[in-house]
Amino acid sequence: MSNHGCKITVLAIGVAIVATLLCVPGKLTAQSAPKATAIPLPPMGWSSWNSFSNTVDSQVIADQAKATISTGMHKAGYKYINIDEGWWLGKRDEHGNIVVDPKAWPALAPGERAGDMSNIVRYIHGLGLKAGIYTDAGRDGCGTMSPDIGPGYPNEGSEGRYEQDFLQFAKWGFDYVKVDWCGGNKENLDPAVQYAEIARAIGRAEAITGHRLYFSICNWGKESPWTWAPNIGGLTADIWRTSGDIVDPIVAGSKNAGRRASFKKMLSNFDQGIHPEAQHTGFYNDPDMMVIGMPGLTDAENRAHMSLWAISGAPLLVGADLTQLSDATLATLTNSAVLAIDQDALGPQSVKVREEAGGLEVWSKRLARPGDRAVLLLNRADAALSIAVSPITVTWKDLGLAGSSATVIDPWNGKSLGTFNASYTATVQRGDAVLLIVRGTETKAAHILPSQAIKGTAGLSLATANEVTFRFKASTCGLPAASFQIVYKNPDQAPRMAELRVNGQDATRILFPSTGTAEGAIWIQAAPNSAEANESGNNLMSLSTSTGVVPQIESISLYQNGICDAGGQKNP
Ligand code: GLA
């Protein structure tokens, strides 16, 4: 294997042996301002589980869909109305088709037949929204094992019928499907195998119906889905849950009405959702539906929760009853500058760039506008400690910004807090977070490709089963991840894909959407190796493909997510 990318590889395709030249001569490409490639952004919407448990029916869904419009949530960007568990009771007809209760899912318009799920989909679409549905990868759904309200219903899963069920969901017109893991877990199935099979069934359903079905994997982080879920089964967008539920359903007027959401559990889900190396090119870690507006959190905690989901670029799925939102909750859920942080076009996740004793943390998310960072100052000091309020400082070096001056903006009220030299300090209450936009000067990138080995050439064309490996030096002070901008061309209509492996860590699959004849740019993050390896520039990154053709890569530039102090101080 070459460390610099120029090699001749011999491939076996069928019985033919083909020699493929990896480096394609051409002229050097300008590095300055390649157009960022549009990627799918984190989904935004509402899900029925947290506030309705398995009592969901057509009336509940229609009311929530209407409220999405009347509250202005739709205008703010929320579009999916997702039906979670409880919509069917595990019954099928003699052909294996799912049968639903016609009373729960009646006709909603003239000419419709009761018991047809496409009725509610038409209703949702009629409001300009998108519709989501739910099943389990195993034979049983979660309701069989731990029924929340009412009896448990066996056989609420899709195992053995993936092709039939996902085709049915697409034919009904659903736009989104969440696939749970209770049955799969009970049967000890391999999630990577089952979800890949499901992704292929989705791909097939999409091909047959021409209808797009967004894929949401819900196996609570088991077997580390961030290592196998991106681009699973060739799907070009998906999200995967990284942890268990923040809260069990709190259904008003039910035996579960007394349950409370907890800030601590929400924080723990945030932590478990951080896998920056796997979040890129339209694939997202999913720390669970938000509990904002549900009983248990104060207005300040709701804002901190929103700030955490926004900075991690998480899917924004609301779990609260939208017909009961307070003004404060609505304002928290619909603040356009905060939503813009979550929905920023670049797509990568935040990284923790500073941590001080006592639970004081600084998180940074690179934004599309060069020199812009979303920054979160989080005070998670233990309540047992007497200090309730603490100053937290972010330095421009923590953020990988050059120059001494940067402007700081409070996205919650849209006001500029001023221009500051070298750093900014805010006082943060225990259990609270301060969200900022820091607008500074981007550092100069290190161009790691084209490298010396391919000087005078542009474009690195990988063909089937090829791999290129190169070295990079990330930082000398142990920062959590470096950012990479990959400039490429993909003339196909469909995205191309490459496996990305860094320092022998688990691979992830990155997508290169079509760029036509122009250049496009995507962003990824990669964790550097030990500080020693960094110093000697000994990080290894490889791009490969075992199937298909990857794009022509024009350049790869490395941007530090932090700058070491003069003494090479380790941070965090
Ligand atoms: C699991 C999931 C939840 C919800 C329930 C339904 O617990 O993690 O999000 O879908 O199942 O039973």
**Closest ligand 1 atom number to CA of residue 143:** 12
Pick the range with the lowest mean pLDDT from 167-181, 204-218, 251-265, 472-486: 472-486
Which residue reads 């959190």 in tokens?
Answer: 297
- Arithmetic mean of pLDDT over the chain: 88
Residue whose CA lies nearest to ligand 1 atom number 8? 245
> How does pLDDT run across 280-312, given as a tens digit for each residue?
999 999 999 999 999 999 999 999 999 999 999
Residue 473 or 439, more confident: 439
In the chain, the percentage of residues whose pLDDT exceeds 90 is 72
Specify the pLDDT at position 450.
61
Residue whose CA lies nearest to ligand 1 atom number 9? 245
The CA distance from 60 to 515, in Å, is: 42
pLDDT band at 14 (very low <50, low <70, confident <90, very high): very low
**Closest ligand 1 atom number to CA of residue 84:** 10
Specify the pLDDT at position 528.
75
Specify the pLDDT at position 473.
75
Q: Name beta bridge partners: 178.
A: 134, 216
Q: Of these residues, 245, 286, 342, 372, which one is catalytic?
A: 245
Q: Name beta bridge partners: 468.
A: 543
Specify the pLDDT at position 476.
55
Q: Name beta bridge partners: 401.
A: 442
Pick the range with the lowest mean pLDDT from 32-46, 316-330, 450-464: 450-464
Please give the average per-residue pLDDT across 352-379, as a whole number: 94
Specify the pLDDT at position 314.
98
pLDDT band at 544 (very low <50, low <70, confident <90, very high): confident
Specify the pLDDT at position 18.
22
Pocket test for ligand 1, best of 88, 180, 239 (most atoms within 8 A of CB): 180
Q: Is 432 a catalytic residue?
A: no
**What is the residue-wise DSSP string for 411-448?**
TTTTEEEEEEESEEEEEEETTEEEEEEEEEEEPPPEEE
Residue 110 or 386, more confident: 110
The Å distance, Cα 218 to ligand 1 centre, comes to 8
Please give the average per-residue pLDDT across 516-533, as a whole number: 83
HSE-CB for 228 with a 13 A CA cutoff: 17
Specify the pLDDT at position 163.
98
Specify the pLDDT at position 465.
41
Please give the average per-residue pLDDT across 416-433, as a whole number: 97
The Å distance, Cα 83 to ligand 1 centre, comes to 11
> Is pLDDT above 70 for 129?
yes
Pick the range with the lowest mean pLDDT from 19-23, 231-235, 242-246, 523-527: 19-23
The Å distance, Cα 196 to ligand 1 centre, comes to 20
Residue 543 or 219, more confident: 219
**What is the residue-wise DSSP string for 461-525?**
E--TT-EEEEEE---SS--S-EEEEEEEE--SSSPEEEEEEETTPPPEEEEE---TTS-EEEEEE
Please give the average per-residue pLDDT across 182-203, as a whole number: 98
Q: Of these residues, 57, 180, 288, 432, which one is catalytic?
A: 180
β 44-47/316-318 pair status: parallel
Please give the average per-residue pLDDT across 121-149, as a whole number: 94
In the chain, the percentage of residues whose pLDDT exceeds 70 is 86
Pocket test for ligand 1, best of 52, 53, 84 (most atoms within 8 A of CB): 84
> How does pLDDT run across 53-76, given as a tens digit for each residue?
999 999 999 999 999 999 999 999
Q: Name beta bridge partners: 544.
A: 467, 499
The Å distance, Cα 86 to ligand 1 centre, comes to 10
Residue whose CA lies nearest to ligand 1 atom number 7? 245
Which residue reads 């490969």 in tokens?
Answer: 544
Residue 537 or 51, more confident: 51
> Is pLDDT above 50 for 456?
no
**Closest ligand 1 atom number to CA of residue 141:** 12
What residues flank ligand 1, with Cβ below 6 Å?
49, 84-85, 142-143, 180, 218, 220, 245
Specify the pLDDT at position 479.
60
The Å distance, Cα 137 to ligand 1 centre, comes to 12
Specify the pLDDT at position 30.
37
Residue 470 or 41, more confident: 41
**Closest ligand 1 atom number to CA of residue 148:** 12
Cβ-defined contacts of 145-150 (< 8 Å, 24+): 145/182, 145/186, 146/182, 147/54, 148/53, 148/54, 148/248, 148/249, 148/256, 149/53, 149/54, 149/55, 149/249, 149/251, 149/254, 149/255, 149/256, 150/54, 150/55
HSE-CB for 199 with a 13 A CA cutoff: 22
Please give the average per-residue pLDDT across 175-202, as a whole number: 98
pLDDT band at 391 (very low <50, low <70, confident <90, very high): very high
Q: End-to-end distance of the chain based on CA atoms, in angstroms?
A: 34
Helices (H), 21-72: 49-52, 58-70
Specify the pLDDT at position 430.
93
Residue 165 or 443, more confident: 165
Residue 457 or 428, more confident: 428
Residue whose CA lies nearest to ligand 1 atom number 3? 245
> How does pLDDT run across 472-516, given as a tens digit for each residue?
777 656 566 789 999 989 999 999 999 998 887 889 999 999 999
Name the burial class of residue 186, with classes exposed (0-12), middle (13-18) and buried (19+) by CB atoms within 10 angstroms of its CB: middle
The Å distance, Cα 142 to ligand 1 centre, comes to 7
In 128-228, DSSP assigns E strands to 130-136, 176-180, 214-218
> Is pLDDT above 50 for 448?
yes
Pick the range with the lowest mean pLDDT from 304-313, 398-407, 459-468: 459-468
Cα–Cα nearest to 474, from 554, 552, 546, 563: 563
pTM for the structure as a whole? 0.92
Which residue reads 């003239």 in tokens?
Answer: 110
Which residues have a Cβ under 8 Å from the Cβ of 569 and sit 6 or more positions away? 477
**Closest ligand 1 atom number to CA of residue 181:** 1
Q: Is 245 a catalytic residue?
A: yes
The CA distance from 395 to 332, in Å, is: 27
pLDDT band at 248 (very low <50, low <70, confident <90, very high): very high
**Closest ligand 1 atom number to CA of residue 220:** 8
The CA distance from 523 to 365, in Å, is: 12
Q: What is the CA radius of gyration of the chain?
A: 24
The CA distance from 31 to 519, in Å, is: 11
